[in-house]
Homo-oligomer: A and B are copies of this chain.
Amino acid sequence: MAFSPLVDQLITALRCLPGVGPKSAQRMALHLLERNREGGFRLSQILDQALEQVGQCQSCRTLTEEPICGLCRSERRDNSLLCVVETPADQIAMEQAGGFNGRYFVLTGHLSPIDGIGPDSLGLPLLAERLSQGVVQELILATNPTVEGEATAHYIADMIEHLPIKVTRLAHGIPIGGELEYIDGGTLSRALAGRLPMV
């Protein structure tokens, strides 16, 4: 025996959320039904509305319900700096870290031929067009330090080799507050290779 059909369907539907297994899904369904119907209704409505309306910014490809996102419309950002990130979450992480005042371009993924994700899926033609306009002076490739992220960064660097644009990559090294003893060898050797004079 299990729950009634509709409750079971709700538990199954909740499992589309990342990190939610059968036990959490059951807990969520019962919580909403027993204790927070109002919150559940609001979630159902907002979810429907967001899925209906949120698309990609025509300029930077981040998630937004407007044609052009707030950051691309802002007049206080430096147009000569463009930072390429893999996802909207990476963009937010960069913004929250502070220290960057340029524009963004969101790939929404990385090159992965095996999954059919090529340059077009990442909006690289749009990026190339934007870079060819001569406004951007420096392109920061902030893709993840994974094999796919590196490959994507190299692909983009090759793609714009003929343009007079400085291409940079985020520095690798020891995280702030990290202890040498517990840092992996790869990171440590990159930190050594990239050592800087002490001021």
Q: B-contacting residues of A (Cβ < 8 Å)?
A: 1-7, 9-10, 13-14, 16-19, 24, 26-34, 36-37, 39-51, 53-54, 63-66, 69-71, 87-89, 92, 95, 108
Indicate whether A40 sits within 8 Å of B16 (C-beta atoms), given known contacts A47-B32, A50-B10, A108-B34: yes
In the bound complex, do residue A6 and residue B49 qualify as a contact, i.e. CB atoms below 8 Å apart?
Answer: yes
Contact B33 A50 (CB under 8 A): yes
Give the residues in chain B near A70, CB-CB below 8 Å. 1, 4
B63 near A3 with CB under 8 A, answer: yes
Query: Contact between A40 and B51 (Cβ–Cβ < 8 Å)?
Result: yes
Main secondary structure of the interface of A (DSSP, over half): helix
Cα(A47)–Cα(B1), bound, Å: 22
Q: Roughly how many angstroms separate A47 CA and B42 CA in the complex, as a whole number?
A: 10
A108 to B63, CA, bound (A): 41
Given contact pairs A4-B64, A33-B50, A34-B87, A19 touches B9 in the complex (Cβ within 8 A): no
* Residue of chain B at shortest CB distance from A24: B19
Could you tell me if B16 and A54 are in contact, using CB atoms closer than 8 angstroms? no
